[in-house]
Amino acid sequence: MKRLRFASLLLLFSLVLVSQGLAYSWTYNTTFNFYLRGFSDTSQDPPTPINWPLTFTLTNISGLSLPDPPAGTYEWFLDSAEFFLFILNTGDEINGTLDNPIFLGIWQAPLAGEGSFHLGNFYVPEFNLSYMGYSLTLGGYTVQNATFYWTFIKEISGNLVIPPQPGDPIIRAIFRFSADNLADTINKDLTYLDNLLGGANGFIVGSGEASFKVSAVPEPATLLLVGAGLLLVGVIRRSLP
């Protein structure tokens, strides 16, 4: 009975330690070139937002790698971000910050260099952009039935495209994003920005810098596995003479 009580207390203590101590995080300081398209119908004057999938391509990336937590299931968050963008279309510069964490979804580790994830409904909090003395407020809406697709590239050698393994650097990334109401949410914001500062041509191209933090919090099942491992170690040690 005493051993059972000891084991129960040890498991509980282990889970508390794991839940508080095994939240993994990565901080990145990156530079890149970017190309964004698929958000507006340029046959209209002025262009209007559409519900097509949004494609965002990053090239010549430096300072980015594929996160590498231990195997398990995690809740992923974008904790904070600061960015500076140079818009090649017009020569304009914009910068912005994200102060409130965004829940990115529940993903399993190790992460894959290519795949898709159904995000469902998620809320994009309001954030501010500074442009030529103007303060623009974007976001503040719920994106519905969203799916996120990604392709990360570690190296390109001729016709050979090599995906990264966890911990490897990423030199190119292609993101596609679809949802039921893009025309009323993200694509609406992007069309507004493109009509205002991007030349109203349906794409935004340029270069940028970003500093951001990503975190992964273990799901209960992962916590239980790790906690049970700690429990087993404790029981074995207690049983040894």
- 89 pLDDT higher than 80: no
Query: What b/e readout covers 153-182, taking b as 16+ CB neighbours within 10 angstroms?
Result: bbeeeeeeeeebebebebbbbbebbbbebb
The reply to whether 220 falls in a domain is yes
Distance linking the first and last C-alpha atoms of the chain: 20
- 107 pLDDT higher than 90: no
The reply to whether 16 falls in a domain is no
The reply to whether 15 falls in a domain is no
Q: Which residue has the tokens 């590239």?
A: 153
The reply to whether 162 falls in a domain is yes
Would residue 158 be called left, alpha or beta, if left means φ above 0 and alpha means ψ between -120 and 50 degrees?
left
pLDDT for res 104 = 81
Q: Which of 234, 230, 202, 222 is nearest to 106 (CA)?
A: 222
The reply to whether 10 falls in a domain is no
Domain residues for the domain of 154 are 22-236
* Number of structural domains found in the chain: 1
The reply to whether 33 falls in a domain is yes
Least confident of 157-161, 197-201, 206-210, 232-236: 232-236
Indicate the residue type of 192: Y
- 174 pLDDT higher than 90: yes
Tell me the pLDDT tens digit for each residue of 186-202: 999 999 888 887 788 99
**Listed ranges 65-79, 87-101, 113-127; the one with the highest mean pLDDT:** 65-79
- 133 pLDDT higher than 80: no
The reply to whether 31 falls in a domain is yes
The reply to whether 174 falls in a domain is yes
> Which two three-digit tokens encode residue 171?
């030199």
Burial class (CB in 10 A: 0-12, 13-18, 19+), 4: exposed
Mean pLDDT, residues 106-123 taken together: 89
**185 Cα distance to chain centroid:** 18
- Phi then psi for residue 120, to 5 deg, are 70, -140
